[in-house]
Amino acid sequence: MNETLIIQGRKVTTEDIRFIQRLMDNNPSWLRTRLSKELCSFWNWRNAKGQLKDMACLALLTKLEKRGYLTLPPSRQWGRKGNEKQAINYVPHSKSVISGTLDRVFPLRIKPVESKEDLDLFKCFLAQYHYLGWSGTVGENMKYLVWDREHNPLACLLFGAAAWACALKRSVYRLERPCPES
């Protein structure tokens, strides 16, 4: 990478990415939160109240990982008791960049999460790609995975009780092509 990226409103250079990698290499026991806070301190990245922008930094780190510039430590989340960390198992999946028109991925399959394998992938996606990670769900909810035509996972969807009240039937949905614009 020779260009400067703008992520989370901050300029990120090649040297910044090298520094982050050295920080991780020199501190292998650090989790993502510690890495984020230390990086904010080093950069003096603070909000208007003077607080560290560690959530923005965590989102920045996650976006750098998504773009393939670095590999973050595994995501760890609080267990249900609140006093222990629960490791979320990584589930291997395609991370290749999708480019081009929607016709390359259609038809999409939107499938409810019903098996243990699907639930493990769902948790892995949230742990790896959502800035809050995976800490479980609260109340009634519906979970879905979205697959492309070659059965590559594209997304996960989580609907809480309010959305669940919309009475969406639990079955497999197929989206053949985008709806025409009105």
- State the residue for tokens 């003077």: 50
- State which amino acid sits at residue 103: D
Residues, the chain: 182
Q: Helices (DSSP H) in the chain: which residue ranges?
A: 14-26, 32-43, 54-66, 116-129, 161-164
- Tell which residue, 61, 62, 36, 33, has the closest CA to residue 130: 62
Angstrom distance (rounded) from CA 29 to CA 26: 9
Is residue 178 helix, strand or coil?
coil
Which structure tokens are listed for 36? 């984020």
**12: which DSSP letter?**
E
Give rounded-to-5 percent helix, strand, coil for the chain. 30, 20, 50
pTM of the model: 0.47
Angstrom distance (rounded) from CA 94 to CA 132: 22
Which structure tokens are listed for 88? 């979320």
Residue pLDDT tens, the chain, 182 long:
567 888 888 899 999 999 999 999 998 888 888 999 999 999 999 988 889 998 889 999 999 998 889 988 877 655 445 544 567 888 888 888 888 888 888 999 999 999 999 999 999 999 888 878 888 887 778 899 999 988 889 899 998 876 655 555 555 556 666 555 54
Contact indicator for 160, 139 with CB cutoff of 8 Å? yes
